[in-house]
Amino acid sequence: MRERKRKEGVLSMSTTVQKWGNSLGIRIPSQIAEKIAISQGSEVDLIVGDDHSLIVIPKKKKPTLEELLAQCKMENRHEEVTFGVEGKELL
């Protein structure tokens, strides 16, 4: 793979399209994978432009329940709110 830099902040590399089963595959160099924050198993959207360009956009990963709960800290919790009793509910 050959690295080329076109302008500041843009990383460009050449790679070879290869046969992978009945499909074609492109290997993404580690430097580019790190730059767009993808790893093995990441989902991406592929978009083909009018000029036949190929754009790879990483899908945003949905957080797991464990990741969401890890964000719960004592300082961002609120007090219990009482709404009173309505009807014949048993509390």
What mean pLDDT value characterizes the chain?
Answer: 86
Rounded average pLDDT over 75-90: 80
Q: Is the pLDDT of residue 85 over 90?
A: no
C-beta of residue 25 within 8 angstroms of C-beta of residue 18? yes
Question: Measuring CA to CA, how many Å separate 56 from each of 14, 22, 42?
Answer: 15, 20, 12
Q: Which of 5-9, 51-55, 63-67 is predicted least confidently?
A: 5-9
More confident residue, 13 or 9: 13
- Residue 83 confidence (pLDDT): 81
| pLDDT-derived band at 7, boundaries 50, 70, 90 | low
What domains can you pick out in the chain, each with its CATH number? 2-76 (2.10.260.10)
